[in-house]
Amino acid sequence: SQQGEEDPQALSIQEGENATMNCSYKTSINNLQWYRQNSGRGLVHLILIRSNEREKHSGRLRVTLDTSKKSSSLLITASRAADTASYFCATARTGGGNKLTFGTGTQLKVEL
């Protein structure tokens, strides 16, 4: 079963705008990660946030984690056409031996 569900399934924005995508999960976690997948390619790790952290930044990425609501959000600021990709959240469940469970993904399209 899918641990993570992402919202929205698809998002289309103009270059320069911010993109926000959300991830909800079901069980207690050790950490939550976000990955990017360009069309026809493998996944690339973007950022990891641990269960005792609430917010983390990396360049134009900002991730928040609310363990009480079992949800996370990924914000991409000042988006670029090169940000066009699918974005997946992945959770490492508590007691899960660091195995990752992936969500269904958000397809982001950034138009010029």
Nearer to other proteins by Cβ, of 43 and 108: the residue is: 43
Nearer to other proteins by Cβ, of 19 and 32: the residue is: 32
How far from 3 is each of 6, 30, 58, 89, CA to CA, in Å? Answer: 10, 13, 24, 9
Place of tokens 């993109």: 19
Query: Least Å distance between CB 67 and other proteins?
Result: 17
Q: 88: which strand partners? A: 35
Nearer to other proteins by Cβ, of 15 and 53: the residue is: 53
Interface positions with other proteins (CB under 8 A): 2, 4, 30-31, 33, 35, 40-45, 48, 88, 90, 92, 98-105
CA pair distance 20, 34, nearest whole angstrom: 13
Query: Least Å distance between CB 105 and other proteins?
Result: 6
Question: Token pair of 41, please?
Answer: 């390619």
